[in-house]
Chains A and B, each alone.
Chain A
C-alpha cells in the first residue's frame, strides 16, 4: 500500500537525520570539553591580572596614558563575537537582540564582526561592518586574536574609534549561556566603576615600590590587560558556542527519536489494517465458494 511505503520512507528519513545530529552532538561534545577547560583554566589569570591593574591604577593614580584618554572624535565600535557555523540554538539570535538595543542607542555605531554569523547579523540589522574576522580555529591561541587586538588598539589610538565595546556569549554552564556586553576602551570608563568602589576599602598602608617605574609598568600593563580581556571573551564565546551546539543537537536527536516512535506506531497500525482486510477478503471468498 502506498501510504505504508510513505510512512516507511518518513521513518528512514527521520532515522538518517537522527544519525547525523547524533554525530554532530558527539563532535560538539568533544570540542566543548576542550573549550570549557580552556575557558575555565584562563579565569584565575584574568582575575589576578584584574586585581593587579586595580592595585597599580590605585597606587600610581590614573595618568595620561593614551588608552585612558577620553575623546569625542570618531564613532563607537562594537566587537561582536559570534560563531562561524549555525545550528547552535538561540546563541546568535540572543546576540542579535543585544546588538539591536545597542544600535538604537548608538546610531553612528560600527561593528567589528568575528565569525560569519556575526557578519550576517550586522548586515541584517543594517549596520556598517568596519572589519570582519572569520574562520578562527577551535583551539584558540593568543596569535589568533592578535589582528583583532591590533585593529582595536590602533583604531582607538588614532582616534577613529570613540569607544570600543565587546559583545560575546558568557559561558555559565553547559546548559546556560548569556550574552554579555563589556566596555573595552576607553579604559577609564571600564576601570572607574571598580576604582571608586574599592578606593575606600584598601589604600595600601605602606608605599608601593614599582620597578622599573609606575609609569612604565602601567604602559606595559594596560595594553596587556586589554589583550587578555579580549582573549578571555573569545574563550568564553568558544566554550558557549560548543555547549550551545551540543545541547541543540541533543534536542534534535531526541526529537528525531520521538518522531520515529510515532511514525512506527502509524506504520504498524496501517500494516495491521492491511493484513486484517486481506484476511477478511480471503475468508469471505472461501465462504462464498462453500
Chain B
C-alpha cells in the first residue's frame, strides 16, 4: 500500500509526524478512514480514538476536539486540543483527571469552565478505555 504523511499537532506539542498507510479519524459525522490520494477534506474532529496503520502495525492515539485537514497533496494534518499515544497513557493520571473534572463540575457555575471540565472528562475517560483495550490485546 502507498503511504502518506500524517501529522498530529496538539496545543502543547507535536505529538506525531510519520508516514502511514491509512488513518481512521473520529469526526462529528462518524469515523472516517483516509487512504492514499483521499479527496481534499476539512473536518471537525471529536474526542475519540484515532487509529493509524503502517506496515501491518496498528497504533492508537486518543485525541480530543479539533480539526483534520487532508491537503490536496495527500498530507493529513490533525489539529487537536490534546493528543496522547496509547502507549504513553498513564491510567493513574487519567483517573486523577476524571476526579478533578468531577470536582470542578460540582463547584463551578461558569458555562465555559463547565464545558472545559466536561471536555477533559471525556478525554480522560477515553484514555482509560483505550488503555484497557490495548492492554487486553497485548496479553
> A42 and B12: CB pair below 8 A?
yes
Interface bin, chain B:
20 to 34
Q: B residues within 8 A CB of A44?
A: 9, 13-14
Decide if B41 is an interface residue (CB 8 Å cutoff): yes
What are 9 of the A-B contact pairs (CB < 8 Å)?
A: A45-B9, A45-B12, A52-B79, A206-B39, A206-B72, A209-B39, A210-B43, A211-B27, A212-B28
> A206 and B40: CB pair below 8 A?
yes
Instruction: Name the distance in Å between B66's Cβ and chain A's nearest Cβ.
Output: 9
Residues of B within 8 A of A (CB): 7, 9-14, 27-29, 39-44, 67, 69, 71-72, 77, 79, 112-113, 116
Which residue of B is nearest A53, CB measured? Answer: B67
> A48 and B77: CB pair below 8 A?
yes
Bound state CA distance, A211 and B69, in angstroms?
A: 11
Instruction: Name the distance in Å between A139's Cβ and chain B's nearest Cβ.
Output: 11
Given contacts A44-B9, A45-B11, A48-B79, whether A221 and B41 have CB atoms under 8 Å apart is no
Interface residues contributed by chain A, number (CB under 8 Å): 28
Given contacts A44-B9, A44-B14, A143-B113, whether A52 and B43 have CB atoms under 8 Å apart is no
Instruction: Name the distance in Å between B34's Cβ and chain A's nearest Cβ.
Output: 11
> B28 and A211: CB pair below 8 A?
yes
Q: B residues within 8 A CB of A146?
A: 112-113
Decide if A102 is an interface residue (CB 8 Å cutoff): no
Bound state CA distance, A42 and B71, in angstroms?
A: 22
Instruction: Given contact pairs A209-B40, A212-B44, enumerate 12 new A-B contacts (beta carbons under 8 Å).
Output: A42-B12, A45-B11, A48-B9, A48-B79, A52-B42, A55-B71, A208-B42, A209-B39, A211-B41, A212-B28, A217-B44, A217-B67
Given contacts A42-B11, A45-B10, whether A204 and B44 have CB atoms under 8 Å apart is no
Shortest Cβ-Cβ A-B pairs, 4 listed: A211-B43, A209-B41, A208-B40, A44-B14
Which residue of B is nearest A146, CB measured? Answer: B112
> A212 and B29: CB pair below 8 A?
yes
Q: B residues within 8 A CB of A212?
A: 28-29, 44
A residues 25-81 with Cβ under 8 Å of B? 38, 41-42, 44-45, 48-49, 51-52, 55-56, 59
